């Protein structure tokens, strides 16, 4: 009897604990806000067109003349992207404000915008989903520096970083007989597994490729972000060279590295403009695979190409800080 009662009490306690967990899960953020706390933001708040971004700026909207104030920035790497490296977080366009102190790793930015009155902080790398807090201390100008009138300055910041975008493209080759009777699966016409970031993959091709025809795969690297690509970009294409190849790869500027497992990596340096870049890739089946489609035993052949693009990117933002007007002395 006592044992039964103890078991009943344990079950009831367990139910209560479960209810509390559910309540905290559903309403935790609201309870935190009502108590004056804010939940820590996560990198998932970055949309798919962003690689590295500033997800929060904690700075006063208005300050007193000659005062000292701080500003904290949360720099995040997208949870759905790749690792970021060679990151510079820079403040500039300070107007009458000056930086008194910043993180100890400050250094000049070797790429992108030239710093005029601000400062850059070097961040060696950020893994996917990482969030880093960067704090600065500023000095506001005295009232006589701005005529003791309404004054507000858009303090600028920008991010400069190196990133990698990846995607896969499936190609489908069908025999003449399979094309006639429709005995093949619907081809995949757009790249898949595209990672988050401002450089986005898209493609154009006539698929499926019917026996005896050639395929020209148009690969587009679209700049869908708010910033601009900078410098040179390295594109790598990995494929099974025993099945498909890029025709006249050397003439197109690619270097080729063969691996013992039958794969090959085609590499090329390109420049991505403000809107993006495009590459035309003539693809051919290997002789052995081509001969298979001439018979009736194999209706179609599918092959994958894997793309990797290493690029540098820069994006900007700003936050306004106003100055109070000192009362005139009497």
The predicted-structure confidence for 155-193, as pLDDT tens digits, reads as follows 999 999 999 999 999 999 998 888 888 888 988 889 999
pTM of structure:
0.81
pLDDT digits (tens, 9 = 90+) for 14-44: 545 444 443 443 343 334 333 333 334 455 6
Are the C-beta atoms of residues 46 and 78 closer than 8 Å to each other?
yes
Distance CA 102, CA 247 (A): 53
Give residue 118's pLDDT: 86
Give residue 124's pLDDT: 92
Tally Cβ neighbours within 10 Å of residue 60.
15
Q: Which CATH class is domain 43-161+315-323?
A: mainly beta
Query: What is the H or E stretch that residue 112 is in?
Result: none
Ranges in the chain, pLDDT < 50 = 1, 3-4, 15, 17-41, 328-330
What residues contact residue 304 under an 8 Å CB cut-off, 6+ apart? 168, 169, 170, 171, 239, 240
Residues 132-164 as b or e (16 or more Cβ within 10 Å = b): bebebebbbbebeebebeebebebbbbbbbbbb
Give residue 39's pLDDT: 38
| Cis ω before 208 (30° cut-off from 0) | yes
Give residue 6's pLDDT: 52
Distance CA 158, CA 115 (A): 10
* 3-state SS class at 287: helix
Distance CA 137, CA 190 (A): 48
Give residue 15's pLDDT: 47
């Amino acid at each position: 009897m006592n044992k039964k009662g103890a078991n009943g009490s344990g079950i009831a306690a367990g139910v209560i604990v479960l209810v509390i967990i559910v309540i905290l899960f559903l309403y935790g953020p609201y309870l935190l806000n009502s108590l004056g706390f804010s939940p820590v933001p996560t990198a998932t708040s970055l949309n798919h067109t962003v690689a590295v971004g500033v997800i929060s700026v904690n700075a006063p909207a208005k300050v007193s003349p000659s005062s000292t104030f701080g500003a904290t920035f949360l720099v995040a790497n997208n949870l759905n992207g790749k690792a970021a490296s060679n990151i510079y977080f820079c403040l500039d366009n300070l107007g009458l404000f000056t930086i008194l102190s910043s993180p100890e790793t400050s250094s000049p930015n070797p790429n992108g915008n030239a710093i005029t009155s601000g400062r850059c902080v070097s961040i060696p790398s950020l893994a996917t989903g990482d969030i880093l807090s960067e704090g600065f201390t500023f000095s506001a100008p005295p009232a006589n520096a701005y005529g003791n009138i309404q004054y507000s300055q858009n303090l600028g910041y920008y991010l400069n970083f190196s990133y990698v975008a990846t995607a896969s493209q499936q190609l489908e080759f069908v025999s003449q007989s399979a094309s006639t009777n429709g005995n093949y699966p619907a081809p995949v016409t757009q790249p898949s597994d595209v990672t988050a970031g401002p450089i986005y993959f898209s493609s154009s091709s006539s698929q499926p490729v019917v026996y005896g025809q050639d395929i020209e795969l148009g690969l587009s690297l679209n700049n869908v972000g708010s910033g601009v690509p900078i410098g040179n970009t390295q594109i790598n294409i990995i494929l099974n060279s025993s099945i498909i190849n890029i025709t006249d790869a050397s003439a197109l500027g690619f270097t080729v590295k063969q691996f013992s497992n039958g794969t090959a990596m085609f590499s090329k340096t390109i420049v991505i403009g403000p809107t993006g870049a495009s590459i035309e890739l003539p693809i051919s089946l290997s002789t052995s695979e081509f001969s298979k489609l001439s018979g009736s035993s194999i209706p179609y052949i599918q092959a994958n190409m894997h793309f990797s693009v290493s690029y540098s990117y820069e994006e900007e933002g700003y936050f306004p800080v106003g100055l109070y007007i000192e009362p005139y002395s009497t």
